[in-house]
Amino acid sequence: MVRETPLYQRGFAGASVNSPGPYDATANTYYNVTPLDDYTPEQAESYLREYNHWILQILNIHEALPGHYVQLVYANKSPSIIKSVFGNGAMIEGWAVYSERMMLESGYGNQEPELWLMYSKWNLRVVINTILDYSIQVLGMSEQEGLDLLMNQAFQERTEAEGKWKRATLSQVQLTSYFNGYSEEFTVS
């Protein structure tokens, strides 16, 4: 079920999935989409340049099918209630990152070069998220240095970069789970 992101969850991600836990596994799963109501016209334009036609397809693979939605449905079927309740963040994000590439390699998008270009940019984000988080938490990176990294070295739009800075300063270590989970669990030699 698609819905506007609840107010208490806004400011962290433009889209996300809320799936039911193991105690109510048949409840609705929600695909949250944050409206751009609080953005200035310039911020909204920047956001929509970042989340263009191709990136939105990759985002939907990551969040929904076969990404988080599928992984979390199967997590609820685990014989271990502890594993179901306390999911491994790196495994959850790693699966979603893996599913993006797997879908494109399996023919999703008919090998459109634009889709592969945007996937490459999206995949760069996975690596940059880890560098950003580590640099903030361990090396004392300043906001200006972080924005420079995101915009000038990872080709992100200003609105995305500012949101990522906020996220990195509020959720220490979470941004590293994408790269860590993908590289540890799903990279095939």
Q: Mapped to the 3 state alphabet, what secondary structure does the chain carry?
A: CEEECCHHHCCCCCEEEECCCHHHCCCCCEEEECCCCCCCHHHHHHHHHHCCHHHHHHHHHHHCCCCHHHHHHHHCCCCCHHHHHCCCHHHHHHHHHHHHHHHHHCCHHHHCHHHHHHHHHHHHHHHHHHHHHHHHHCCCCCHHHHHHHHHHHCCCCHHHHHHHHHHHHHCCCCCHHHHHHHHHHCCCC
The answer to the question of residue 98 being in a domain is yes
The answer to the question of residue 35 being in a domain is no
The answer to the question of residue 83 being in a domain is yes
Residue 187 confidence (pLDDT): 61
The answer to the question of residue 158 being in a domain is yes
Residue 186 confidence (pLDDT): 64
Residue 84 confidence (pLDDT): 87
The answer to the question of residue 62 being in a domain is yes
* Domain of 71, in residue numbers: 40-185
Low-confidence ranges of the chain (pLDDT < 70): 186-189
The answer to the question of residue 8 being in a domain is no
Residue 107 confidence (pLDDT): 97
Residue 99 confidence (pLDDT): 96
Q: pTM for the whole thing?
A: 0.92
Q: Domain tally for the chain? A: 1
The answer to the question of residue 23 being in a domain is no
The answer to the question of residue 147 being in a domain is yes
